[in-house]
Amino acid sequence: MKIAVKIGRALGGGAPFATVVCLVMYAVYAARAPSALSIFGITNVLNDAVVLAIGSAGLTLVILAGEFDLSGVGVIAIANVLVATTSGASGFGALGSLALVLAIGLLVGTVNGVLVAFFQLQSLAATIGTMIACEGVALLILPAPGGEVSDKIATGLTGDLAGVIPVALLILGGFAAAWFVFKRTSLGVAIYATGADAQAARLSGIDLRRTRLAAFMLAGLCYAFAGYMLSAETGTGDPRVSSALLLFMYAAVAIGGTSLSGGKGGVFGSLVGAGILTVLQKMLFALGVAEFYTNIFNGIVMIFALLFGNIVSSLAGPLRRQVAK
Amino acid sequence: MLFGTKQKTLLAGAAAMLLAGAVQQSAAEEPHYKVFLDMSYSGNIWQAAAANGIKALAATPPYDKEVEFKTIISGTDVQRQISDIQSMVAAGANAILIYPLSPTALNRVIRQACAQHVLVFTYDSTVTEPCAYNVSNITARYGANSAQWMVNQLGGKGELVINHGVAGTAVTKTYDAQALHIFSRYPGIKIVGEFYGNWNDATSQEGVSKILAAHPNLDAIWTVDGTYGSLQAVMKNRPDRLVTIAGQSNNGYRLMIADPKLQAKGLRGLSSSAGPAVGPYAFKVMMEVLTGQLKPTQHNIEYPLPWVPYTDVKLCTGDRFVGGCNTFPEGKVPPLFIDTSLNGDLLPELSLTAVQEGKPTPGARIQKLPEIHYAENLPGINCENCTAPPDAMEPNLVKPIPVPK
């Protein structure tokens, strides 16, 4: 029992349940569509999931710190059009454009963080502002879909290493590993503490403003990288292509077991949450669910994932206290 | 006991599978095609009319027997559309008809589909991937033609509002550039206001109302869609002096521009823009290519631009567009019904119920298409690294009037 709880804790909140759901759904999908088990099929699913996963990972950090952030889709849009306009032969190349978009992400994250942590603006309102501004900037950079993403990015990040290991898997694995290290650092602990109970955190010596600022900055970096991956997957720029992601990012975070009121959950769960939303679409297709029913099932599965996640964590709660004794 | 039941179920399942296999084999003697429609979103009159027309054709003989047809709604998320196209290819699609959410972002997945010998068609919106077929009227110069028509009606002078549509789309960029090119040629045309009406009637009505308050002498409104809402704003705020207007083809709008009482108050309307019938038309072209009846030499195919100035509105008596009629009488359809959902010449198989409910017209049979017309190149719209014809910004349906001195 002790070990199970430990594993559960290591994965963070509702994540174990979400992982099981994701694997079961993938099994159903694979049973109906055998290509799901080929390297090609697996790579496709991972590529479909990776943008949402990384975007939701960034969002999770802000939500854990007890704030909201809507600017993600704006940063993704800017990153996408920048990669499409600067990564080509006449631009800065693959690494140069990566550095550029990360810098932009960091900048937008810093603006968000300063507005929320230092000027005490409501995060929801402040980040609506930055989101709209970012989408405007994206339209200025690229007024209509177009541009070209360097082949190094487009084929390099969406293929397989040695034909066996999907690059997207390495990236997602890297994010998960970084998270398990990060959550134990003093900043990681401070983010949890700030989101769980800001007053208690302040009394125990945590600098709330610095913590919130750091959460927004890290989130900005994640959004920028998500935009970079979106460019790799689509091979071009489109200033409007990311706007539909916003709700899915929040859905991925919630399904992954992170409490939208802060302090509970984790990035790993959001990565899995993004996986669930991606595999769900594949599974419903494989089951032959067509048209409007897809949306209905999407909604129902999301509600069930949330419900069961809640039940699992409320069952695990008393157990954990027992172990703690 | 439990084991026994399980084994029985397994046996029954195996038998059912064998049976299904046998049935499939006998069905395989007829030509049989797996065809998918990937639409973007529903709940929008335009999208629904296009999808219904396609569904009705897929159920019209002989396609009702030959085609296994399925509709998938990808919503507005391009990642989802990419995922769905991958799934369609994996499911053994022979042909996929797409309403593409982006002219460029689907190119990679479309290339994957083409590599698996899947026929990929788009309708209305286009993609720049050369292996896909685009069926659209985006190349038919709506922006230049409608702007020139308005200038001619206005005698080359007047105060004008531009209702842009949706920002960041290829359609908006193309049509806006054409229209501004024409308007800027006539110094008497003054653009007093512009806004993004998002192809939406409510947004457009609000936008025009605001501008009208500041510019009470407004003479004209140029739109791509949201036309009915734009005109409603003038009817509400300035009912005795109407405007010259160009845009969509809602039935209520066509009835208004044909009304002599409104014309006496100055209403001069043009009904044009993209029609939902481009969807079913693209389906027919795709099926002719799939069945080997048609071998297009180019991949960009133009759907003729709907073009009904107020003088050409003609009421229909039945529920089909026959004998050159193009509008339904009041009460027959809701005012926002889009008349360009039907096309009497290219899609005689479709009736009103077909595009409203997606059901085949009783007794109809798929007719052979008249000759198709290839579209011009438009860089970033239907091709990459290509050049547009030198006169791409000029009207080709309307003769320009000289610039007034």
Query: In Å, how far is A144's CA from the nearest CA of chain B?
Result: 5
What's the fold here for domain B31-137+275-304+346-388? Rossmann fold (3.40.50)
Mean pLDDT of B378-400: 92
Q: Which residues of B touch A281 (CB under 8 A)?
A: 80, 83-84, 87
Residue B11 confidence class, pLDDT cut points 50, 70, 90: very low
What average pLDDT is seen over chain A?
88
Q: How many other CB atoms sit within 10 Å of the CB of residue A37? A: 14
CATH code where residue A110 lies:
1.10.3470
Q: pLDDT tens-digit profile of B275-288?
A: 999 999 999 999 99
Query: In Å, how far is A283's CA from the nearest CA of chain B?
Result: 9
Written as six digits, the tokens of B27 are: 């069905």
B227 to A215, B46, B154, B373: CA distances (angstroms): 46, 13, 18, 28
Query: Which pLDDT does position B17 carry in this prediction?
Result: 47
Query: Which pLDDT does position A257 carry in this prediction?
Result: 87
Nearest by CB to A48, from B70, B82, B107: name it. Answer: B82
Query: Which pLDDT does position A227 carry in this prediction?
Result: 97
What's the fold here for domain B140-271? Rossmann fold (3.40.50)
Q: Is the pLDDT of residue B5 over 80?
A: no
> With 0-12 CB in 10 A as exposed, 13-18 as middle and 19+ as buried, what is B27?
exposed
Specify the domain boundaries for CATH 3.40.50.2300 within chain B: 31-137+275-304+346-388, 140-271
- The answer to which of A66-75, A122-131, A309-318, B155-164 has the lowest mean pLDDT is A309-318
Q: pLDDT tens-digit profile of B323-364?
A: 889 999 999 999 999 999 999 999 999 999 999 999 999 999
Q: How high is the ipTM of this complex?
A: 0.80
CA atoms within 13 A on the CB side of A89: 0
Does residue B386 sit at the A interface (CB-CB below 8 Å)? no
Mean pLDDT of B198-204: 91
Does residue A44 sit at the B interface (CB-CB below 8 Å)? yes
Contact of B252 with B336, CB cutoff 8 Å: yes
Query: Which pLDDT does position A152 carry in this prediction?
Result: 86
**Residue pairs spanning A and B at CB distance below 8 A:** 114
Does residue B80 sit at the A interface (CB-CB below 8 Å)? yes
Residue A1 confidence class, pLDDT cut points 50, 70, 90: very low
Q: pLDDT tens-digit profile of A235-269?
A: 889 998 888 899 899 999 988 889 888 999 999 99
CA–CA separation, A240 vs B165, rounded Å? 14
What 3-state DSSP class applies to A321? helix
Contact of A161 with A167, CB cutoff 8 Å: yes
Q: Is the pLDDT of residue B10 over 50?
A: no
Chain A CA closest to residue B108: A234
User: B397-402: long-range contacts at Cβ-Cβ below 8 A with a sequence spacing of 24 or more?
Assistant: B397/B141, B397/B145, B397/B305, B397/B307, B398/B145, B398/B148, B398/B149, B398/B152, B399/B152, B400/B148, B400/B151, B400/B152, B400/B182, B400/B185, B401/B151, B401/B152, B401/B155, B401/B156, B402/B156
- Mutate one of B37, B79, B80 to test the A interface: name it (highest A CB count within 10 A): B79
Query: In Å, how far is B357's CA from the nearest CA of chain A?
Result: 15
Q: What is the pTM of this model?
A: 0.84
Q: Which residues of A touch B107 (CB under 8 A)?
A: 234-236
Q: Is the pLDDT of residue A104 over 70?
A: yes
Inter-chain residue contact B168 with A294, CB threshold 8 Å = no
Query: In Å, how far is B73's CA from the nearest CA of chain A?
Result: 5
Mean pLDDT of B60-75: 92
Mean pLDDT of A7-31: 77
Query: In Å, how far is B37's CA from the nearest CA of chain A?
Result: 10
Nearest by CB to B83, from A35, A48, A288: name it. Answer: A48
Q: Is the pLDDT of residue B29 over 70?
A: no
Q: pLDDT tens-digit profile of A210-219?
A: 999 999 999 9
Inter-chain residue contact A143 with B78, CB threshold 8 Å = no
Residue B168 confidence class, pLDDT cut points 50, 70, 90: confident
CA–CA separation, B370 vs B313, rounded Å? 24
Does residue B359 sit at the A interface (CB-CB below 8 Å)? no
Residue B367 confidence class, pLDDT cut points 50, 70, 90: very high
Does residue A299 sit at the B interface (CB-CB below 8 Å)? no
Query: In Å, how far is B196's CA from the nearest CA of chain A?
Result: 13
Q: What percent of chain B has pLDDT over 90?
A: 78
Query: Which pLDDT does position A2 carry in this prediction?
Result: 52
How many domains are there within chain A?
A: 1
Centroid of chain to Cα A173 = 13
Does residue A238 sit at the B interface (CB-CB below 8 Å)? yes
> ∠ CA B298-B300-B306 to the nearest 5 degrees?
135
Q: A203: domain range? A: 2-324
